Amino acid sequence: MTITVVGIIGYTGRMGQAIARSIESHPTAALCGGVTRKQTLSEQHENSPLIVTDNPEELFPHCDVIVDFSHPTVTPMFARIAAQHGKAFLSGTTGLEEEGYAVLKEVAEKIPVLHAANTSLSLAVTRRLVRQAAALLKDLDYDISILDKHHRWKKDAPSGTALTLGQSALEGNEGTHEPTYASIRSGAIVGEHDVLFSGAGETINIQHTVTDRKVFARGAVQAAVWLAAQKPGFYAMDDVLGV
């Protein structure tokens, strides 16, 4: 049985710690350590058998795949370092600008790269439902509205997932109906997304709700193990599920 060795960028963050715990229970994944900011390093990390550092060059050579949940301003840098070491790179960081995406696609010529605004495995199914509904309604008078709800600490709005669902709608209706977006940032909401197809006197609501951050962590680990075995290229969660 092949074991995939994983390194985490954003190791001490909420998602980083959730992914670390998920790796512990995964039968074919092992945690090597993580990259975190210098100010979050502690004696606890110094005494850990894991490699916990603020220097990716100390971690990346020992990993098969790097999982990135950091910040859009630094994701491109980490992707380039992963490419230099020939390591697969999965990023769940949202809010990337066009330049950031361009870097990910550039390094995908050398290493397998997967970017997902949402690593929930069921979201790939939701996107397909949205695409199909948009295709069936494209010649009819239906408005498409997307509502995303997240915790108060989430900075980007609309969320990356909302934009991904909007892109699925546009793929389905071939651009005939542009979606509109609304965002709510409140409390500790993990993640809720509604895609509304509203006509005269009726509405279809396709909803995806996450109540536990573990969902994202499990999906990220499964995707990372899958990605480590792929050829260089740019992948999505749909590829992980084979849809």
Residue extents of the structural domains in the chain: 4-115+214-241, 121-210
Write the CA distances from 61 to 56, 68, 76, 83, 242, integer angstroms: 9, 15, 18, 11, 29
pLDDT band at 85 (very low <50, low <70, confident <90, very high): very high
pLDDT band at 38 (very low <50, low <70, confident <90, very high): confident
pLDDT band at 95 (very low <50, low <70, confident <90, very high): confident
Contacts of 132 (CB under 8 A, 6+ apart): 172
3-class state of residue 200 by DSSP: coil
pLDDT in tens, 103-153: 999 999 999 999 998 899 899 899 999 999 999 999 999 999 999 999 999
Active-site annotation holds for 150? yes
Q: Summarize the confidence of residues 211-217 as an average pLDDT.
A: 90
| Residue 184 · residue 150 · CB < 8 Å | yes
The CATH class given to the 121-210 domain equals alpha beta
What number does CATH give the domain 4-115+214-241? 3.40.50.720
The catalytically annotated residue of 87, 115, 149, 150 is 150
pLDDT band at 90 (very low <50, low <70, confident <90, very high): very high
Active-site annotation holds for 231? no
- Model confidence, pTM: 0.83
Token pair belonging to 24? 């512990």
pLDDT band at 42 (very low <50, low <70, confident <90, very high): low
